[in-house]
Amino acid sequence: GAGVSQSPSNKVTEKGKDVELRCDPISGHTALYWYRQSLGQGLEFLIYFQGNSAPDKSGLPSDRFSAERTGGSVSTLTIQRTQQEDSAVYLCASSPWPQETQYFGPGTRLLVL
Amino acid sequence: SQELEQSPQSLIVQEGKNLTINCTSSKTLYGLYWYKQKYGEGLIFLMMLQKGGEEKSHEKITAKLDEKKQQSSLHITASQPSHAGIYLCGADMDSNYQLIWGAGTKLIIKP
């Protein structure tokens, strides 16, 4: 079946602009994760959604970052007033239930000029 | 210090040779995941280990979790160009949904 998809695959924006990144998880997966990967670094946890529960936003680096998940499926990560240090690959993953294997999308490469 | 350390950071191996990548934790692991990442792609799930002493194999890749459940190794036998990429380990240390990630090992296969 279809895997996790993310769009856009690449995004170039100017400093100060807002961006929206989209994630379509695997159908039926209740858990959804957003991560950030900077060049040569491991994965930095951003936010976690599980079903209809309140999301775990503990990894969001600043109040410029927000995310929502509509209808328990598609998720959007929004970065307001982008800064150059926001440049990274943003990865989305989903799993059938918490603590089960996470399946990753191809990521969105964000470059802030 | 890092909770989860991967070694080496990078590895250049002649095609056909064997290699080992390690992932060491400061805490007991409830689960350990191995993923592979190619440039421009997301992470591809390889294997998941939970029990002390567990060993799993897929094609030419074998992953083990030690008895104390604090270290895992990923061993590739007779390496091929298709094995090139970045290998990441992710650990469940607190029996919850958040994984702690290693910094990755970049593997280059020389023809």
Point out the residues of chain A with pLDDT beneath 70: 1
Look at residue A1 in the predicted model and tell me its pLDDT: 57
Backbone angles phi, psi at A71, to 5 degrees: 60, 25
Residues B20/B33, Cβ–Cβ less than 8 Å: no
pLDDT in tens, B22-53: 999 988 888 999 999 987 778 999 999 998 89
Q: Is A54 on the interface with B (CB under 8 A)?
A: no
CA–CA separation, B104 and B31 (whole Å): 17
* pLDDT digits 0-9 by tens, B83-111: 999 999 999 987 777 889 999 999 999 99
At residue B75, the pLDDT reads: 98
| Rounded CA separation B27/B46 (Å) | 22
Q: Which residue of B has its CA nearest to A56?
A: B98
Nearest CB to A106; choose among B42, B95, B98: B42
A55-81: per-residue pLDDT in tens? 999 999 999 999 999 887 999 999 999
Q: What is the four-CA torsion angle of A6, A7, A11, A13, rounded to 10 degrees?
A: -110
Q: Using the 8-state DSSP alphabet, how is residue A42 labeled?
A: -
Does the CB of B50 have a partner CB in chain A at under 8 Å?
A: no
CB contact under 8 A, B45 and A93: no
Query: CA separation (Å) from A82 to A12, A67, A110, B26?
Result: 11, 15, 10, 36
- β-bridge partners, B33: B48, B90
- Rounded distance between C-alpha atoms, residue A41 and residue A96, angstroms: 27
Please give the torsion angle defined by the CA atoms of residues B22, B91, B61 and B46, in that order, rounded to the nearest 10 degrees: -150
CB-based contact, A74 to chain B, within 8 Å:
no
Q: Do A102 and B101 touch (CB under 8 A)?
A: no
What residues of A are in contact with residue B33 (Cβ under 8 Å)?
101-102
Mean pLDDT (chain A, rounded): 93
Cα–Cα–Cα angle for B92, A94, A33, nearest 5°? 70
The predicted pLDDT at position B32 comes to 94
CA distance B67 to A108: 38
